[in-house]
């Protein structure tokens, strides 16, 4: 099911279902937002980004939503697959640095 | 195009020693940033370099320093190591300002 707006440290999802990962960011001056995926033993991997002049952007099986009014980002993954199991971080850029959310560990159940 | 590379991948040091980590950015990228990742604090920004100039620095003690060379390669140094410095150190590069940062695999530093 959906956990609209709420950041959860962990998310368990059935293979084939849709996943929604939420993030609250803190810097209202940020104009650039990114979602990263980090698998065990690896560095963060770019998934999708969005700039502040947009509120939605779609990629392959992923959609990012941005609500600047409440400083909230979400990542939607369609038809979640076992390879989607990882930790997902949102990040926001300001003054040449990225700040990161706490991360959500996604586990895909077969 | 090759990704961001970091050397060494793993490092074990003892308290009081110093360490130098290296990062080679993606070809054509001029901005290099460093981050520390720990289970307790998550991902934290250390510093960012562009054309050999440090443009921003995170809230870390002066024991943490870095530099960038004319070929955009970067190094970071930690002196007088403490147990709390044990972490995954990540390097990221980007082409320009407010552009996507791509991460390397990281250097796992263990301080004993």
Give me the tens of pLDDT residue by residue for chain B, a chain 112 residues long: 789 999 999 999 999 999 999 999 999 999 999 999 999 999 999 999 999 999 999 999 999 999 999 999 999 999 999 999 999 999 999 998 778 999 999 999 999 9
Question: pLDDT > 70: what percent of chain A?
Answer: 95
Q: How far apart are CA B50 and CA B33, in angstroms?
A: 9
Task: Kindly report the three-state secondary structure assignment for every residue of chain A.
Answer: CCCCCCCCCEEEEECCCCEEEEEECCCCCCCEEEEEEECCCCCCEEEEEEECCCCEEECCCEEEEEECCCCEEEEEECCCCHHHCEEEEEEEEECCEEEECCCEEEEEEC
pLDDT band at A5 (very low <50, low <70, confident <90, very high): low
Residue A59 has pLDDT above 80, yes or no: yes
| Nearest chain A Cα distance for residue B106, angstroms | 6
Q: Which two tokens stand for residue B82?
A: 């403490």
The pLDDT, as a whole number, for residue B99 is 87
pLDDT at A3: 46
Contact A9, A105 (CB under 8 A): yes
If you average pLDDT over residues A26-35, what whole number do you get? Answer: 92
In angstroms, the Cα distances linking B90 to A99, A107, B25, B36, B55 are 14, 24, 12, 6, 18
Round to whole Å and give the CA distance between B101 and B31. 9
Q: What is the pLDDT of residue A74?
A: 97
Pairing of strands A72-77, B74-78: unpaired
Rounded to the nearest 10 degrees, how much is the dihedral formed by the CA atoms of B92, B69, B78, B7?
60
Contact predicate A31/A22, CB 8 Å: no
Q: Looking at residues A5-25, what average pLDDT do you find? A: 92
| Residue-level pLDDT at B63 | 98
Name the token pair of A74. Answer: 């979400």
Question: Which pLDDT value is given to residue A1?
Answer: 41
Q: With contacts defined as CB-CB under 8 Å, which chain A residues touch B33?
A: 96-98
The residue that leads in pLDDT, B67 or A8, is B67
Which chain A residues are closer than 8 Å to B90 by Cβ? 43-44
Q: What is the pLDDT of residue A2?
A: 44
How distant is the Cα of B82 from the closest Cα of chain A, in angstroms? 23
């Amino acid at each position: 099911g959906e956990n609209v707006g709420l950041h959860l440290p962990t998310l368990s999802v059935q293979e084939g279902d849709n996943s929604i990962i939420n993030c609250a960011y803190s810097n209202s001056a940020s104009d650039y937002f990114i979602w990263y995926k980090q698998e065990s033993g690896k560095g963060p991997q770019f998934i999708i980004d969005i700039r502040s002049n947009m509120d939605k952007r779609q990629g392959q099986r992923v959609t990012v939503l941005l609500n600047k009014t409440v400083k909230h980002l979400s990542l939607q993954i369609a038809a979640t697959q076992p390879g989607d199991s990882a930790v997902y971080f949102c990040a926001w850029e300001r003054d040449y640095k990225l700040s990161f959310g706490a991360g959500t560990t996604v586990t895909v159940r077969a | 195009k090759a990704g961001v590379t970091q050397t060494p991948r793993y490092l074990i040091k003892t308290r009081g020693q110093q360490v130098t980590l290296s990062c080679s950015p993606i070809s054509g990228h001029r901005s290099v940033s460093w981050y520390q990742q720990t289970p307790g604090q998550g991902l934290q920004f250390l510093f960012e370099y562009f054309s050999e100039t440090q443009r921003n620095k995170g809230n870390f003690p002066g024991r943490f320093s870095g530099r960038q060379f004319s070929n955009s390669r970067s190094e970071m140094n930690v002196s007088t190591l403490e147990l709390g410095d044990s972490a995954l150190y990540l390097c990221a590069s980007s082409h320009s300002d407010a552009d996507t940062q791509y991460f390397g695999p990281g250097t796992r530093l263990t301080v004993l």
